[in-house]
Amino acid sequence: MHQMIISVAAFDYLKTRKKLWLKALVAFIPALAAGLVMRFATPNSAIVISDVFSDFVNVQINTVAILISFSIAIITILVTADNSNITRLKEKHSTDCKPLKGKPLSLFQVLLSNITYNVLAEVLYLGILIVLVFVRLYISDDVCKDLMAVCVFFVTHILHVLLESVGQMYLTFWKHEEVG
């Protein structure tokens, strides 16, 4: 039952967003650059790639755990806030998203789904990072380099969506004529 609820939230986000390819591209470019540098640049001979990979993954585990807490705090603020800005968000429809089941999304739904999607992406990525802690024992340095590039993709994507959500939160609580 819980898996169904989680997948509904993720699929609703994916179904209602325009230009998803742009979000993927924003994350893909730094990941590709990192992958190319790691693949073709010659590291210092004293550097042990598997140690760098382990440190990289461990730092990310801590960072993603903090980001999950931050994202959940944003959801808490959003759903418990009761002010005129939240009321306006619930009443105004978004033109930046596709309708869901024929109904336009309110700006409140857009913001909530952005943050919910980000929490789901962060939790998924945290799970991947935990698996990588153990996988590291069985993979070559070249695979470590490739996996670090994949990690850069995830981190960039998560930070991009998070910054978008923070910007939306700012506009929610800062008095403006037009929110969105």
The answer to whether residues 16 and 98 touch, using CB atoms and an 8 Å cutoff, is yes
Question: Across the strands, what pairs with 106?
Answer: 93
Name the residue among 94, 100, 93, 150 with its Cα closest to residue 125.
150
pLDDT digits (tens, 9 = 90+) for 70-119: 889 888 888 888 878 788 888 888 888 888 888 998 888 888 899 999 99
Burial of 80: CB neighbours in 10 Å, binned 0-12, 13-18, 19+:
exposed
pLDDT, residue 179, reads 47
Query: Span 17-28, mean pLDDT?
Result: 91
Contact 79, 130 (CB under 8 A): no
Q: Coil, strand, or helix at residue 101?
A: coil
How is 5-65 classified by DSSP, letter by letter?
Answer: HHHHHHHHHHHHBS-HHHHHHHHHHHHHHHHHHHHHSPPPTT--HHHHHHHHHHHHHHHHH
> Quick one: average pLDDT of 123-137?
94
Do the Cβ atoms of 168 and 114 come closer than 8 Å?
yes
Three-state SS at 104: coil
Q: How many CB atoms lie within 10 A of CB 148?
A: 20
pLDDT band at 2 (very low <50, low <70, confident <90, very high): low
